[in-house]
Amino acid sequence: MSLSGDALKSLAFQASLSPKEEMLEIGQKNQSLYIGIPKETELQEQRVALVPESVGFLVANGHRVVVESGAGQKANFSDSDYSELGAEIIHDTKEVYQADIILKVSPPNNKEISLMKYKQILFSALQLTVQPKDALEKLMSKKITAIAWDYIEDENGSFPLIRSMGEIAGTTSFLIAAELMSNANNGKGLMLGGVAGISPPELVIIGAGTVGQFAASAALALGVSVKVFDNSLFKLRRLQNEIGHKVFTSVIQPKVLEKALKRCDVAIGAISASSFRTPCVVSEDMVKKMKSGSVIVDVSIDTGGCFETSEIRSHENPVYKKYGVTHYCVPNIGSRVSRTASYSLSNIFSPLLIEIADSGGCEKLIQSAKGFRHGVYIYNGTLTSSILGEAFDLPHKNLDLLISAL
């Protein structure tokens, strides 16, 4: 039986009104990743992004990892440590940069960017104070997707890699101060620890974040008298709750801080930068009034330092004296204990890479994971960081809007 034209139109209309199954995109799962780990070229950088055990874990999950010869040398990992666990050791730097994903600790310089290929994925730190404009423009011209590992958030909205490095920097800063106070380093010969019958040494910590918390914990465990200053009452309360010990805390009032600095044996600067530069809260005049032979360790030197007398030094020549006070102002304190810091980085990188593979690729995870998306500052060549855009007068777009348009 043949149907008339009107009958066919009626049936088609009724079919359009009936519910249909939604067509959802199904991404490729368990994608095999091709990861390249180049040798760090920054003079102060001694860490490596992945330790051999993490490389072995990734290779066992079906991923290809190429490591430039000598990449782990400064963290005391040999090429054979990597090759025995499945990594491919590459002697040609250019060949390493042919990987789909480049995993670095420090941001790439112009020479390294020139070796990168079109539409590559880059993981590295984002150092706002030293990030050159031309490097950003070159990354954008190659349509790179650049992800700052120090800006990736976890499910609680915190930054796991920054916290991990802060824990190391806090404990290490106290250990450095203890070394500098000893006779072996021409110090006062004072032990940073409590001994029965002897007044405990005094430590002032400026900043109650992760660095300050772990410096305080290390000091209190050895019986040192600790005073912590910060302008955030929330951070001061949190520090006391975290360390489980009542310590002297105060907001940063110049007279109170100056009095504490006059009495202390060690001062640790651990203020985090709210924008591009750490606020300078200790004046030169305050440093002049400190005891001769006392020690300053300015962890905040990475973002300018919080002591007016702070000057950037290297790991090879880290110490200088000013007004009789020993200063240690070396950026990237984590590199002083590069093996420990590398394990800490690797513990976060390797599960993240597995998650990328399980999601069907980096782009899929950017679309689905808000915390991971927070670390993206260039997406397929488009600058998505408003901070960098405003600082360098570069056009930028909102990443969420870019993704929603896909």
What CATH number does residue 243 fall under?
A: 3.40.50.720
Is 307 a member of any domain?
yes
Indicate whether 371 and 284 sit together in one domain.
Answer: no
Question: Is 201 domain-assigned?
Answer: yes
Q: Give the per-residue pLDDT at 189.
A: 84
Q: Are residues 197 and 311 in the same domain?
A: yes
Residues 312 and 177 grouped into a single domain = yes
Q: Which of 13-27, 77-91, 273-287, 314-328 has the lowest mean pLDDT?
A: 13-27
Q: Are residues 325 and 341 in the same domain?
A: no
Q: What is the mean pLDDT of residues 253-277?
A: 90
Long-range contacts of 248-255 (CB under 8 A, 24+ apart): 249/208, 252/206, 252/281, 254/286
> Quick check: 121 pLDDT over 90?
yes
**Residues 308 and 371 reside in one and the same domain:** no
Mean pLDDT, residues 39-66 taken together: 94
Q: Which of 46-55, 186-195, 326-335 has the lowest mean pLDDT?
A: 186-195
- Domain annotation covers residue 7: no
Residue 128 has pLDDT above 90, yes or no: no
pLDDT at residue 383 is higher than 70: yes
Whether residues 298 and 188 share a domain: the answer is: yes
Q: Which amino acid is at 21?
A: E
pLDDT at 300: 93
- Asked whether residue 185 carries a pLDDT value surpassing 90, the answer given is no
Confidence of residue 342 (pLDDT cuts 50, 70, 90): very high
Tell me how many domains the chain contains. 2
Q: At what angle do helices 160-181 and 210-221 cross, to 10 degrees?
A: 40
pTM of the model: 0.85
Q: How far apart are CA 196 and CA 273, in angstroms?
A: 39
What's the pLDDT tens digit per position in 197-247? 888 999 999 999 999 999 999 999 999 999 999 999 999 999 999 998 889
Lookup: tokens for 209: 């974040």
Task: Check whether residue 327 and residue 341 sit in a common domain.
Answer: no
pLDDT surpasses 70 at 276: no
Query: Is residue 396 located within the same domain as residue 370?
Result: yes
11 domain-assigned: no
pLDDT digits (tens, 9 = 90+) for 12-31: 555 555 555 554 444 456 78
- For residue 367, what are the β-bridge partners? none
- Residue with the larger pLDDT of the pair 11 and 354: 354
Strands (E) located in 289-388: 295-298, 319-322, 325-328, 376-379, 382-383
pLDDT score at 130:
67
Question: By mean pLDDT, which of 205-209, 292-296, 380-384, 392-396 is the weakest?
Answer: 392-396
Could you tell me which residue, 332 or 256, shows the higher pLDDT? 256
Sheet holding 266-269, edge to edge: 248-250, 225-229, 202-206, 266-269, 295-298, 325-328, 319-322
Q: Which of 331, 356, 391 lies at the terminal end of a domain, its last residue?
A: 331
pLDDT value at position 4? Answer: 58
Q: Is residue 12 part of a domain?
A: no
78 and 219 co-located in one domain: no
Mean pLDDT of 113-122: 95
Helix, coil or strand: residue 88: strand
Residue 33: the pLDDT is 95
Q: Are residues 309 and 185 in the same domain?
A: yes
Residue-number span of the structural domain to which 348 is assigned: 34-151+337-404
Question: What CA–CA distance (Å, rounded) separates 354 from 352?
Answer: 5
- Same domain, residue pair 79 and 143: yes
Q: Is the pLDDT of residue 1 over 70?
A: no
Write down which residue in 311, 331, 351 finishes a domain: 331
DSSP code at position 30? S
Tokens of 207: 């900043």
pLDDT of 249 strictly over 60: yes
Q: How far is CA 398 from the centre of its chain?
A: 23
Percent residues over pLDDT 70 in the chain:
91
pLDDT of residue 13: 53
Shared domain check, 253 and 196? yes
The chain-wide mean pLDDT, for the chain, equals 89
Q: What pLDDT is recorded for position 23?
A: 47
* Whether residue 100 has pLDDT greater than 90: yes
**189 inside domain:** yes
390 vs 259: which has the higher pLDDT = 259
Buried b (16+ CB within 10 A) or exposed e, 324-339: ebbbbbbbbbbbbbbb
Task: Render pLDDT for 302-324 as a digit per residue (tens, 0 to 9).
Answer: 888 999 999 999 888 999 999 99
pLDDT digits over 28-46, tens only?
Answer: 567 899 999 999 998 789 9
